[in-house]
Structure 1
Amino acid sequence: MAEDRSAKSRNDLYSRLEKVLGGGLQYRIHHLSTRPTKSDALFAAPPAQRPQRTHCESHLLTLSITSPSSSSSTSNSTSSQTQGRHVFVFAIEVLVYTTATLTTLFVSKADSTGFLSRTPSHTRQSPIRPLTSTFLTWLAETRQRPGIPLVVSLFARAQDQYLFPGSVDHGAKHVLDDRQLVKWWCKTLDPVLRCPTTDDSYTTRAHVIVPGFDYHETTQFFPPTCRSDPVDNRKWRHGHPLLDIAPNPSAPPRCLVPHFPDDPKARYLDELDAEIPDSQPSQTFFSPSKKGNGMWKSIRTLDQFWDTMAFRQECSSGRMVGFIWLVFTPTQPSIQSLEDTVTHLTPATSFNADDLLGADLIFSSQESLGQTEEVSRASPRKTSRRKKLSGPIVPRQPQIKSSSSNVSSRSDKTISKEWPEEGRGQIVLEHTSYSRVHDLLLRLDFSNADTATSSTRKWLAEVAAISNPTADWGKEVTGSNQLAHPASFTKSSQVNDISGMLVRKKRKNTEDRAQAPAAVEASAVNILSASMIRKKPKVNNNT
């Protein structure tokens, strides 16, 4: 049943991608994912508390086409040869962080090779944006948990290449600058925000922060669809939702900012944590000792943190970085999330189930209700003195107390065991194997069509060797979106009509010139020479 649900979920993804890809074009999709493994907490814990137990799973989706250098290959090739004739054109990596109170989808990397524009059947509308929106929407739907908020987070920073080394060297790759990249991501995430399946059970909001930009300067990055929203219910807003998604909003500022890998604000957090007394740089996720209060010396509030981010190296010197969040807040929170919220606010009231069992045994040994109240008010030291232990000692396995963490052991087991079958990749790797193939992709060469085709074949063969899947993994998809072609043709036809009108205006001059009996060029020259000769005799006659 698990495999059936997983295969059904993948087929749903493929059918969605077919609808957004260019009609009549052949694509190949490869989807990798990992099992949820324990990772460092996204939010630092308040003083005298432990961080939330967090699990992370990675997803890597690639889109490939037939290589331009292998267009002359025979059509009756085997599956392995067909796979070897493909070249990557786009890839996106998403990290899914799961805790007992929050699900976070962090877009780690997204990159293209530029070979899509070199294909003979390339359309004017690139499929990269609708593919990214569709994949993130599908992944958010499969990772939604009833009553638990979900966040899609990313930071937009323009670079020449992220996942495909050398792809910027062949010249066909279109690299966006900082402003264009932030606008591109806002337009890409807007369909995810307006997903129709989340209208009833979730309240959706998008938040954007560009360090160094005020409210009016930030609104220029919002997608055009935000203009149709009601004035009192704007989907896109300037600011951050950290106070809404943090596990403990009353904690110090360092406990409210998430710590993602390769994130500019994460590096800034590491530098600010050095200001905390009695803190160790190697354990930035753990709170300081009881002597410290978990506060920075230079930064006291979140507003100061974002103001100083504008002077960071990634955000200054002419560079611009955008932080974007999509927050899906459930209309009815789950009971577990409410219990965890109470536990975070009052951690001292947590207790162990074994203590309740011992109390029940003591209560049952009393004869009257008055004696029970006296024993309940008595201190633990007096109770231990009255009771004498006797008999053989029977060893037992140690039990983990629920008070040792902000999240109960039951919640941690639920996160690790309830891994949904929906939303998994075609190949599921362990974390070490995924890191191996991920590092291999960053060492390959995509500087031209031949080397890119060879690198694609090498990477796919490495994944097949590690996971031992079927003979030919991946999914052949034929695009069915016919709107891309007519849209481009309609625009071109309109341009032709306008140019035709302009040509007609020019033809009036040519028709006037064509009234001469001789050829067009000769008549033009004769008319000019005749006019010049007429002017001269007039001057001579007057004299």
Structure 2
Amino acid sequence: MGHASPPGGAAGIWNHYLSRHLPQHTTRSADLDVAGSKRQEVDDRDYTLHHVATKPAKYALTRDPSKEEKGGATKAARSTSSTTCGSDNATTHFLTLTAPNRLHILALELNVYTNASYTTIFIAKADTTGYHLPTLSIGAVVAAIIRAFVETTARFGVQTRICLFARAQPQYIFLGSAKNARKHVLSDRELIQWWMKVLGPMAEQAMGSALARLHIPGAEPAYMRSVLTPPWTDGHIFSSDSTEDHTDNGVNNAAAATTPSTGDHRLAVATIPNFPDDPKSRFLNVLASEARDRTTSVDRFFLELQMRQEFLMGFVSGILGVQGCVVVPREDEVQSHEKGGLPGAVVESKVYLRIHDAIITSDYSDEELARNATAQLCADMPAGSAFVLHGTKPVSKADSNDGSTASSSTPTVSSSPSQPHLAGQVKPPATVTLIGQGLIRKRAKPPRTTAAATAAASASTSAPQASTQDKSADESQSKRTKTSVNI
């Protein structure tokens, strides 16, 4: 592997988007274990981002059966999008972030498609290991990476779409990371809300009041009303009203698209993108195998989608989409982004798959295994894929010394109870017991004793029993004043 690019040069654009979200290290740092305690001195005080991408290939994101020769396409050919034909240019991107403690902490896989009508970014996978310090906001970093893709792939007057299917799993990329007690896991509903918080500000800022829609198959209207917060509305970005031109000279006009369509009779296969490893795509393939792809409308597609088995097993899944024109100052600036793009190593598809498989089969179940996996994978990454990132986010002394003083969100899965205190962390002060309304239960003051009372107690034959009871009471009170640290 080649050396990581310094903060300037090729790494400059990554630092532009990410450095302000990474905690800064103002002094020579030590290698930190997951609890925040010092292990050994290291030379690198910075984060390292690896970015690997495939070469552009033709891909049919959607297809129009009416333009296919009658009987010319078999069911098998219609059931999948070809990578050798189609009007879309497709690239796949894999990114990992390594912390100063020499541990992988984040990985993202994205697919980018471009055609004359749209730039489409599909967030395929996102996962964390849980080995980052609480001073790092995973949500802010993920949002910054996605924004980098949005802005550097933008084209003047062409709408950008961000698509995501959210469903909780124990781990998506880092094998065994769910066994790490520090991995902040989320339930299905929490994961959907996490992604809404990540993508929502982008719709309002980078994409200038774009459409932001959430569809939860099978959800009751009352539940959707309880979940949706501005700028999110109920529905999906593949509806007919979202395809109309709601822009004025490249500026979004969200008011023109606030009312969902009363009916969408367009063909689903010609409208809904066929993303890799996506439940919607699997259903599109089923329609093709049943020869219903030429008759199933968009409305019918989503009606039947909620009845499929993978949506009837108690899981809550969200189809999130953001669509709009990216706010850019000048057309020539967008064109300069298109020419350069985001820095990274561009490799053949077979090399990309080898790197991808090596990462998803490595063991991250404990810190030592994760450290070994990180070192091996970073060493095997292709030249030109590594970039040094300088953190500039201010960190208080308390935060840097005590990991228990901050919390972080992680785009992972399943709800988790409060975590036990970790070895190596500075223990928090004992807490007091609250009795409601913010009132504090005070400890009973010991009674005042006189010399006569002391003499009487000494002479009493029940003194040993009383002493034992007092000791038990003290131990009970001590237990009540200790709490676990939720990290």
Q: TM-score, normalised by structure 2?
A: 0.66
1:268 aligns with 2:292: no
The match for 1:253 is: 268
The match for 2:122 is: 106
Q: Which amino acid aligns with 2:448?
A: Q
The match for 2:56 is: 37
Q: Please list the CA deviations of residues 364-397 of structure 1 after superposition, one character each: whole Å capped at 9, or x if unmatched.
A: xxxxxxxxxxxxxxxxxxxxxxxxxxxxxxxxxx
Residue 454 of structure 1, aligned match among 372, 381, 387: 372
1:89 aligns with 2:89: no
Q: Which amino acid aligns with 1:212?
A: G
Q: Distance in 2 between matches of 1:316 and 1:98?
A: 34
Q: Distance in 2 between matches of 1:47 and 1:134?
A: 41
Whose Rg is larger? 1
CA contact (8 A) 1:46 1:251 kept: no
Q: Distance in 2 between matches of 1:174 and 1:523?
A: 57
The match for 1:424 is: 342
Q: Distance in 2 between matches of 1:244 and 1:38?
A: 30
Percent identity of paired positions between Structure 1 and Structure 2: 26
Q: Please list the CA deviations of residues 227-277 of structure 1 after superposition, one character each: whole Å capped at 9, or x if unmatched.
A: xxxxxxxx2110012125669987422211111000011101101112327
Mapping for residues 53-64 of structure 1, pairs under 5 Å: 53-64=87-98
SS in 1 for 2:300: helix
The match for 2:174 is: 164
Q: How far did 1:462 drift?
A: 1.8
Residue 436 of structure 1, aligned match among 354, 358, 365: 354
The match for 1:391 is: none
Q: Distance in 1 between matches of 2:317 and 2:452?
A: 64
SS in 2 for 1:260: coil
**Cα separation, partners in 2 of 1:427 and 1:266, compared to 1, 3 Å:** same
The match for 2:388 is: 475
1:506 aligns with 2:439: no
1:319 aligns with 2:315: yes
Q: Distance in 2 between matches of 1:479 and 1:522?
A: 67
The match for 2:450 is: 517
SS in 2 for 1:454: helix
Report the aligned-residue RMSD: 4.2
Q: How far did 1:207 drift?
A: 0.6
Q: Distance in 2 between matches of 1:256 and 1:449?
A: 45
Residue 149 of structure 1, aligned match among 143, 159, 180: 159
Q: Which amino acid aligns with 1:295?
A: R
Q: Which amino acid aligns with 1:315?
A: F
Q: How far did 1:40 drift?
A: 2.5
Q: Distance in 1 between matches of 2:49 and 2:165?
A: 25
Q: Distance in 2 between matches of 1:444 and 1:311?
A: 36
1:128 aligns with 2:162: no
Q: Which amino acid aligns with 2:235?
A: G
CA contact (8 A) 1:166 1:445 kept: yes
The match for 2:216 is: 210
Q: Distance in 2 between matches of 1:12 and 1:520?
A: 78
SS in 2 for 1:114: coil
Q: Distance in 2 between matches of 1:328 and 1:96?
A: 16
1:240 aligns with 2:224: no
**Cα separation, partners in 2 of 1:137 and 1:239, compared to 1, 3 Å:** same
**Cα separation, partners in 2 of 1:502 and 1:187, compared to 1, 3 Å:** closer
The match for 1:220 is: 226
Q: Distance in 1 between matches of 2:16 and 2:337?
A: 23
Q: Distance in 2 between matches of 1:523 and 1:184?
A: 65
The match for 1:11 is: 12
Q: Which amino acid aligns with 1:92?
A: L
**Cα separation, partners in 2 of 1:271 and 1:22, compared to 1, 3 Å:** same
**Cα separation, partners in 2 of 1:142 and 1:498, compared to 1, 3 Å:** farther
Q: TM-score, normalised by structure 1?
A: 0.60
Q: Structure 2: which 5+ residue stretches go unaligned?
A: 30-44, 70-84, 246-263, 329-334, 408-426, 463-487
CA contact (8 A) 1:38 1:53 kept: no
CA contact (8 A) 2:19 2:389 kept: no
Q: Distance in 2 between matches of 1:113 and 1:262?
A: 22
Q: How far did 1:478 drift?
A: 2.9
Q: Which amino acid aligns with 1:163?
A: I
Q: Distance in 2 between matches of 1:179 and 1:303?
A: 24
Q: How far did 1:320 drift?
A: 1.6
The match for 2:36 is: none
Q: Distance in 2 between matches of 1:276 and 1:445?
A: 43
Q: Please list the CA deviations of residues 290-340 of structure 1 after superposition, one character each: whole Å capped at 9, or x if unmatched.
A: xxxx523xxx432332222222232111112110001114799xxxxxxxx
Q: Distance in 2 between matches of 1:525 and 1:302?
A: 88
Q: Please list the CA deviations of residues 172-217 of structure 1 after superposition, one character each: whole Å capped at 9, or x if unmatched.
A: 323322111111111111222222x543xxx411010010013331
Q: Distance in 1 between matches of 2:204 and 2:167?
A: 24
Q: Distance in 2 between matches of 1:319 and 1:181?
A: 12
Q: Which amino acid aligns with 1:475?
A: V
Q: Distance in 2 between matches of 1:519 and 1:37?
A: 94
CA contact (8 A) 2:215 2:236 kept: yes
The match for 2:299 is: 303
**Cα separation, partners in 2 of 1:514 and 1:437, compared to 1, 3 Å:** same
Q: Distance in 2 between matches of 1:276 and 1:521?
A: 95
CA contact (8 A) 2:265 2:297 kept: no
Q: Which amino acid aligns with 1:179?
A: R
Q: Distance in 2 between matches of 1:444 and 1:141?
A: 32
